[in-house]
Structure 1
Amino acid sequence: MRKDITILGEKIKPGKTYQIKSDIARLHTRTKIEVPIIISRAKVDGPCVLISAGIHGDEVNGVEIVRQVVANKYNIPDAGMIICVPVVNVFGFLIKTREFPDGKDLNRSFPGAKNGSLASKFAHFFMNEIVVHVDYCIDFHTGGDTRFNYPQIRISDDDEETFNLAKTFGAKFVKYSSEREKSFRASAVASGKKVLLYEGGKALNINPKITNVGVTGILNVLESLGVKKMPSDHIPLHDGVKQVVFNESKWIRANASGMYRSLVENGLPIKKGEVIGLITDPYGFFERKIKSPVSGHVICLNHSPIVNQGDAIAHIAIKL
């Protein structure tokens, strides 16, 4: 790590912690929307780790994970530097929505452009002012709407170091997945960063187990990189189940509209032909079973009690 580091005009000195507020855009009322960035640098050189959440403003469980890291001072490194951005998309967080005020998905706007749309300008700022300084990224997401993701790490193909970090993180599921075009992960990987993308929980919801797996995963990775020793006061929650690595999965969709009742448990194995759930009408005259067309593990369930035909109701991981 370089001895002289300047981020957003602030010189980051060894042994110091900074809270810097970026100011790159305003609402249509001319109100400033500032994004707090918490930077802690050790006196000893080492890698720089970015811990970020809230690229989608309604994915608050990731925000809670990063908040706990900062509140417990787990972001104070023994070596190197840790940058925490608990809420990347403050715009969406304010009004509890995924999108930026321009209606765009920030996670489809990277690497951005200096003179592009609001989301594109912010993505350009984030890549060139923050990501440029880091070696490793841990980015936190949840399932959209009522879809609850079981804790899982998604990584790029053919990268042994990233795979080993994913195993170290400790989530039950590790998925090899190609990067989505213009996503933060795709742009960060293209710029030479090692990226772990954590999926857990659902939008506008905070779940203690999802939070605990996320915080413990961060501490596991930081310790393995030599950035921070595992705090003695942290008691991790273990599944007691071996990790499952997969590169193929299948979404199961509702075959009718109606009231929906799930019959399977998230995170557990499922066999081909097993009934996932029932769709009924509100009156007791109609019932339809939904069966799994494949064997694997359930990694996401739709928690909505009402579905339309074609809605995603379950996601099945097919083990390597």
Structure 2
Amino acid sequence: MSDKNVLEILGEKIPLGKSATVSFEVAKLHTRNTLDVPIIIERSKKPGPTVLITAGIHGDEINGVEIVRQLIAKGINKPKKGTIICVPVINVFGFLNMDRLFPDGRDLNRVFPGSANGSLASRVAHFVMTEIVPHADFVMDFHTGGADRFNAAQIRIIKDEPILSELALVFGAPFIFYSKNLNKSFRNSCYKSGVPMLLFEGGKSFNIHSNITNTGVNGTKRILYHLGMLHSKFKVSKPKTKATIIEDSKWVRAKFSGMFKATVAINTYVDKDDVIGNITDPYGSFNHFVKAPNAGYIFNVNESPIIYQGDAIFHITTALKND
């Protein structure tokens, strides 16, 4: 637990009971204007844990940014005890350009822990890992599905980590997905640094979805309440359903190119050989029914109306913890 009376980021000292917005200068634009990443810090007078809440590692994942924005706008980030640090948009370059990547073509989530003398993306990763993460006792990082693939609201953690399993259940997303830490990802770097992280996935790129946003905000409130950090003026609701824990899964890929339409909703449980979508052509001469390869929950759906052979169109569970 980080009970330091004074927290220091980028040379600015923030004592207990104070608020601050510290800006990290990522780089200068071609016009010599600076481009900054705001870091919003709220500290209670009462010592306690330090929670880091981040989003926008990928610039096109707007739904995660909206979740953190709401936490700040509603004052949920003002802790009853301890400290909450919010970084709503880490990849501000991608956010401004409506692009997943950095201008150098690098995926920020594949260059951690970064380097002070590396690429632009690598320097940002290095800043996050050296200036911010060392203060944190716990991290929540908000993401969305890539391209047109819509993710059901889910928490991703590695298996056999009791603290993460406990916090994931507290968060209350419909799904808890056991997934390995990817090499050079933010999550893996935090893990190696001994800082537990819940990674939230929900929705799709370039989209703000109210149900996904509400799940993220309500889950964060449950976590803060669990840690004794949520002010009593905020109500905490119980999850509508018990989380489904996904042990394993598989992607269903398109056997044909064409016009695609899913015929099952996200979060739906299907049986083997149930029709879950169809692929047609523009001329009315072809219609292929996509069938479920096994029984399981559909927790990702490709919402693109045009697909190519081999495209991932559904993500379906193949093994659940209670199987």
TM-score range (shorter-chain normalised) is over 0.9
Residue matched to 1:164: 166
How far did residue 276 of structure 1 move? 1.5
Cα contact 1:275–1:290 (8 A) shared by 2: yes
Cα contact 1:220–1:230 (8 A) shared by 2: no
Change (3 A) 1:72 1:172: same
Equivalent of residue 211 in structure 2, options 209, 213, 235: 209
Q: Please list, as runs of the form range in 1=range in 2, the aligned pairs for 1:1-320 lying within 5 A after superposition.
A: 1-229=3-231, 231-232=233-234, 234=235, 236=237, 240-318=240-318, 319-320=320-321
In the TM superposition, what whole-angstrom CA distance separates every residue of 1:8-58 from its partner, at most 9, and x where no partner exists?
A: 111111111111111132234433110011001111111100111000000
* 3-state SS in 2 of match to 1:223: helix
* 3-state SS in 2 of match to 1:43: coil
Q: Tell me, which stretches of 5 or more residues in structure 2 are unaligned?
A: none
Change (3 A) 1:298 1:203: same
* 3-state SS in 2 of match to 1:132: helix
Q: Name segments (4+ residues, structure 1) moved above 3 Å.
A: 229-232
Whole-angstrom distance in 2 between the partners of 1:26 and 1:272 = 54
Change (3 A) 1:200 1:285: same
Whole-angstrom distance in 1 between the partners of 2:4 and 2:138 = 15
Cα contact 2:264–2:276 (8 A) shared by 1: yes
Change (3 A) 1:135 1:127: same
Whole-angstrom distance in 2 between the partners of 1:28 and 1:128 = 27
Whole-angstrom distance in 2 between the partners of 1:259 and 1:59 = 25
Cα contact 2:172–2:239 (8 A) shared by 1: no
Change (3 A) 1:157 1:21: same
Whole-angstrom distance in 2 between the partners of 1:299 and 1:131 = 31
Change (3 A) 1:116 1:8: same
Cα contact 2:59–2:100 (8 A) shared by 1: yes
Aligned-residue CA RMSD (Å): 1.3
Q: Output the amino acid matched with 1:263.
A: T
How far did residue 230 of structure 1 move? 5.2
Q: Output the amino acid matched with 2:141.
A: D
Change (3 A) 1:260 1:24: closer
**Aligned residues, how many?**
318
Q: Tell me, which stretches of 5 or more residues in structure 1 are unaligned?
A: none
Whole-angstrom distance in 1 between the partners of 2:231 and 2:166 = 18
* 3-state SS in 2 of match to 1:12: strand
How far did residue 231 of structure 1 move? 3.5
Q: Output the amino acid matched with 2:258.
A: G
* 3-state SS in 2 of match to 1:260: strand
* 3-state SS in 2 of match to 1:187: helix
Whole-angstrom distance in 1 between the partners of 2:116 and 2:43 = 28
Change (3 A) 1:244 1:101: same
Whole-angstrom distance in 2 between the partners of 1:38 and 1:170 = 25
How far did residue 196 of structure 1 move? 0.2
How far did residue 235 of structure 1 move? 7.1
Change (3 A) 1:133 1:262: same
* 3-state SS in 2 of match to 1:245: strand
